[in-house]
Structure 1
Amino acid sequence: MSCDFIALANRGIQGLQPYQPGKPIEELERELGLRNVVKLASNENPLGPPASALRAYRNAAEDLHLYPDAGGFELKACLSAGLAVSPAQITLGNGSNDILDLLARVFLDEHSSAVFSQYGFIVYPIATQAVGATAKVVPAKDWGHDLPAMAAAVDESTRLVFIANPNNPTGTCLGEEALRQFMAAVPERVVVVLDEAYAEYVGDDAYPDGVALLSDYPNLVVTRTFSKAFGLAGLRVGYAVSHPQIADLLNRVRAPFNVSVPAMAAAVAAYTDMAYLARSREVNEAGMAQFTKGLAELGLAFIPSAGNFITVQMPGAALPYYQALLHKGVIVRPIGVYGMPDHLRISIGLAEDNARCLTALKHVLAEGVGTA
Structure 2
Amino acid sequence: MQPKEVFKSMSPYKPGKQIEEVKREFGLEKIVKLASNENPFGYSKKVDQVVKDEAVQFDIYPDGYATELRQLLSEDLAVEPDQLIFGCGADEVIDIICQTYLEVGTNTIMAIPTFPQYKHNALIQGANIKEIPLLNGYHDLQGMLDAIDQATKVIWLCSPNNPTGCMINAQSMQQFLAQCPNDVIVVLDEAYHDYIDSPDKPNTIDLLHKYPNLILLRTFSKVYGLAGLRVGYGIASLPISEALNIARGPFNTTRLAQQAAIAAYQDQAFVDRTIKETIKNKQAFIRYLEQIGLECYDSEANFVFVKLPVSGDMLFDYLMKNGFIVRSGEALGYPNGVRITIGREEDMQDLQVNIKLFLDEHVGDEFI
2:329 aligned with 1:332: no
DSSP-derived class of the 2:35 partner: coil
The residue number in structure 1 matching 2:19 is: 25
2:312 aligned with 1:312: no
Map Cα deviations across residues 106-150 of structure 1 (whole Å, 9 max, x no partner): 000011000011122111111111111001001211211011110
Alpha-carbon distance in 1 for matches of 2:152, 2:4: 21
Contact 1:117 1:137 in 2 (8 A): yes
Distance apart, 1:370 and its partner CA: 11
| Percent pairwise identity | 37
The residue number in structure 1 matching 2:62 is: 68
Distance apart, 1:369 and its partner CA: 6.7
Alpha-carbon distance in 2 for matches of 1:202, 1:104: 27
2:112 aligned with 1:114: no
The residue number in structure 1 matching 2:273 is: 279
**Quick one: which of 206, 212, 229 aligns to 1:235?**
229
2:228 aligned with 1:244: no
Contact 2:109 2:130 in 1 (8 A): yes
Contact 1:119 1:144 in 2 (8 A): no
Distance apart, 1:259 and its partner CA: 0.8
Alpha-carbon distance in 1 for matches of 2:231, 2:36: 16
Alpha-carbon distance in 2 for matches of 1:352, 1:301: 22
The residue number in structure 2 matching 1:269 is: 263
Contact 1:29 1:35 in 2 (8 A): yes
Distance apart, 1:13 and its partner CA: 2.3
The residue number in structure 2 matching 1:205 is: 199
DSSP-derived class of the 1:367 partner: helix
Distance apart, 1:258 and its partner CA: 1.0
Contact 2:196 2:300 in 1 (8 A): yes
Alpha-carbon distance in 2 for matches of 1:170, 1:327: 25
What amino acid is aligned across from residue 314 of structure 1 in structure 2?
L
Distance apart, 1:94 and its partner CA: 0.5
Alpha-carbon distance in 1 for matches of 2:25, 2:57: 38
RMSD: 1.4
Alpha-carbon distance in 2 for matches of 1:75, 1:118: 34
Unaligned 5+ residue runs, structure 1? none
Contact 1:57 1:263 in 2 (8 A): no
TM-score after normalising by structure 2: 0.97
What amino acid is aligned across from residue 89 of structure 2 in structure 1?
G
**Quick one: which of 58, 63, 78 aligns to 1:84?**
78
The residue number in structure 1 matching 2:149 is: 155
Contact 2:208 2:236 in 1 (8 A): yes
**Quick one: which of 83, 94, 97 aligns to 1:100?**
94
Contact 2:136 2:297 in 1 (8 A): no
2:142 aligned with 1:173: no
Alpha-carbon distance in 1 for matches of 2:314, 2:142: 37
Alpha-carbon distance in 2 for matches of 1:194, 1:144: 14
Query: After alignment, is 13-22 or 131-140 more displaced?
Result: 13-22
The residue number in structure 1 matching 2:177 is: 183
2:131 aligned with 1:137: yes
Unaligned 5+ residue runs, structure 2? none
TM-score after normalising by structure 1: 0.96
DSSP-derived class of the 2:56 partner: helix
The residue number in structure 2 matching 1:47 is: 41
What amino acid is aligned across from residue 106 of structure 2 in structure 1?
S
2:287 aligned with 1:298: no
Contact 2:137 2:298 in 1 (8 A): no
